[in-house]
Amino acid sequence: MTLHNAAPAAAPAEITDLRVTFATDGAPVEAVKGISLTAHAGEVLAIVGESGSGKTVTANALLGLLPETALMSGAVVVRSRSGDETDVVHADPSALRGMRGSDAAMVFQEPSTALNPVYTVGWQIIEGLRAHGRIGKKEARERAVDMLRRVGIPDPEHRIDDYPHQFSGGQKQRIVIAMALVLNAGLIIADEPTTALDVTVQAEILDLLRVCRDEFGATIVLITHNMGVVADLADRVIVMYRGDIVEQAPVRELFASPREQYTRDLLAAVPHVGHGKSGLVAPALPAAPGEEPAAEPVVAVSSSGGAVVDDRADPAVSMRDTTGHLIVAEQAQIGYPGRFGRGAVVAVHGVDFSVAPGEVVGLVGESGSGKTTIGRAVVGLTKVVEGSLRVLGHEMRDVKQRSLGPLRPEIGFVFQDPATSFNPLLTIAECLAEPLIVHGRAASASAARTRVDELLDAVQLPASFGDRYPHELSGGQRQRASLARALALDPKLLIADEPTSALDVSVQATVLELFVELQRELGFASLFISHDLAVIDAVSDRIIVLQQGRIKEQGTTAQVLGNPTNQYTQELLAALPVPDPVEQAARRERARELRGA
């Protein structure tokens, strides 16, 4: 049984000659330049483009969510399932409130900020029901429980009274989708709904959005920069660039034969599993006719020139000589101190791995697998409770913070979100000079300016950017500046924690290319943390696959991604969407088979 009525003949959303201009202290900024589009009933319409292309502005215009500084012209018409129309451009606030939720609803990019932390999830779903009609508390609760069940929240009768922080990231996104569906809206606008999610959770959310279309009869406008997600879910694609539509076509046609150069560039920038770091991994020799491939460890050359041996046969035991390695973990258990006299909470259980000089090792796994915990333990921010973790010759178990002083300049850290890791009150030059001043390499920011300019040049940013503040740089430029800061002290080891997860595909490709180039030139070793296997493939010599704090598989990049032996690794690979609608359909079926097994 479904909630939707017969699909109306009219399109749920139509935009005609939409122009959006933002008033600023300087000249007005024209964000959308007279675009026209139609979202047809029952389809998934993907709007793609880089940051600044106008795709999110267009999505917000459909719900009238633009700020007061925005001036709109043209027509934005949203139709309800019964055929009632709302012209968003000219509607008064009362009409907009009536339309939002019941006719059109939004699924935001970050569910943690979309949900109110001080109210239960049930209260927040029921609030929407009661705001749009007279409904009793009992009936509203029953409908909220039913909707939580239908979006895949386990035990919804009890979880309805839980708070947002008691749910995982994927479950919070399901709750936001439930809030969008509970009033049976005919138009769902999903703004980057899977950007911050692991590949397996992302696959589940994409399946749920398919249910929104097929079972609930909703039309979905999908805003994303992930071309794999587009290939997996979309029926039709609109490509935007600098506020204008440059191309639109059915999804298979667009991926098979894009007409515009910008679209071809977008598709070319998407990382693919299997491309690897050119020249770093030696291919396995083919077996003789009629023979099975040999099961011997395959040796590949790392960026440092050393040998890397496949140690997947027993992931708990390193087969390599770790003499001189920068990181050596032996049965390391890493955890967090317990509260109120309780024992430590162990997040990583008895792991064995090492990182050689000049080697890039990728750490992959879902949220909660222990990736970031290991990265924090390497720099002394998380406690090693059992076993051994040696970093640059220092034993990190029971280490005192004051004894880590000499170790700090040897380790750089690139954070996931540079916008929050930079001090907004300091210029980029002052932020880059800070580690030089703290460690006595320079007396002041002005004295360090020569070195700062060298760092900016190394990451391909103009020296003039040093005089800008962090908010005056784009996401990709901030991430490059973050990389420059991590390299300021010429570290031997670099920890990169999800450094490209929030970037557009073209910006991501530039940052990854820059990372590989700098790593080859400077020769630092790196522990590269990511949930994106294609990104890991582009930068890593070896890969460690983590699940629930345990190593499931490790070996050279070519072997782990090309011939995974562990089912969990196979599931991660199968869940990764690829920018090819035909291939992605087959991969989706394969992923379902693996989950069923």
pLDDT for 274 equals 74
CB of 179 closer than 8 Å to CB of 125: yes
**Confidence band (pLDDT; 50, 70, 90) for 109?**
confident
Is there a single domain that holds both residue 67 and residue 81?
Answer: yes
Query: Six-digit token pair at 29?
Result: 């900024």
Read off the pLDDT of residues 164-204 as tens digits, 9 standing for 90 and up: 988 877 888 889 999 988 888 899 999 888 876 778 888 88
* Stronger pLDDT, 423 or 307, i.e. the higher one: 423
Q: Are residues 500 and 541 in the same domain?
A: yes
> Does 574 reside within a domain?
no
Instruction: Say how far apart CA 38 and CA 327 lie, in whole Å.
Output: 55
Task: Verify that 76 and 201 share a domain, yes or no.
Answer: yes
Could you tell me the residue range of the domain that residue 384 belongs to?
299-420+491-563
pLDDT digits (tens, 9 = 90+) for 243-260: 999 999 999 999 999 999
pLDDT digits (tens, 9 = 90+) for 61-90: 999 999 888 999 999 999 988 888 999 999
Does one domain contain both 160 and 303? no
Q: Which of 229, 250, 268 corresponds to the end of one domain? A: 268
Q: Are residues 240 and 381 in the same domain?
A: no
pLDDT tens-place string over residues 431-471 = 999 999 999 999 999 999 999 999 999 998 899 999 999 88
Does any domain span residue 131? yes
Do both 129 and 162 map to the same domain?
Answer: yes
- Residue 294: per-residue pLDDT: 36
Mean pLDDT of all residues in the chain? 84
Residue 495 sits in the same domain as residue 516? yes
In the chain, the number of structural domains is 3
**pLDDT at 323 (0 to 100):** 80
* Judgement on whether residues 315 and 175 belong to the same structural domain of the protein: no
Q: Look at residue 291 in the predicted model and tell me its pLDDT.
A: 37
Whether 190 and 173 map to the same domain: the answer is no
The more confident residue out of 309 and 137 is 137
Strand partners, 518: none
Residue 406 pLDDT more than 90? no
- Mean pLDDT, residues 277-302 taken together: 36
Has residue 536 been placed in a domain? yes
**Which of these ranges, 42-46, 222-226, 415-419, 521-525, has the smallest mean pLDDT?**
415-419
Q: What CATH number is attached to the domain comprising 28?
A: 3.40.50.300
- pLDDT at residue 280 greater than cutoff 70: no
From CA 283, how far away is CA 419, in angstroms rounded?
40
**Nearest Cα to Cα of residue 173 among 234, 88, 231, 107:** 107
- Kindly list the strands in the beta sheet with 383-391, ordered across the sheet, starting from the edge strand earlier in the chain: 345-355, 327-336, 383-391, 394-395
* Residue 292 domain-assigned (yes or no): no
Domain assignment present for residue 425? The answer is no
373 and 412, same domain (yes or no): yes
pLDDT tier, 520 (very low <50, low <70, confident <90, very high otherwise): very high
Is the pLDDT reported for residue 2 higher than 70? no
In a domain, 470, yes or no: no
The amino acid that residue 139 corresponds to is E
340 with 408, same domain: the answer is: yes
**C-alpha span between 350 and 385 (Å, rounded):** 10
CA distance 357 to 303: 9
**Is position 473 within any domain?**
no
Q: Tell me, what's the pLDDT at 436? A: 94
Q: Which H helix or E strand runs over 570? A: helix 567-575
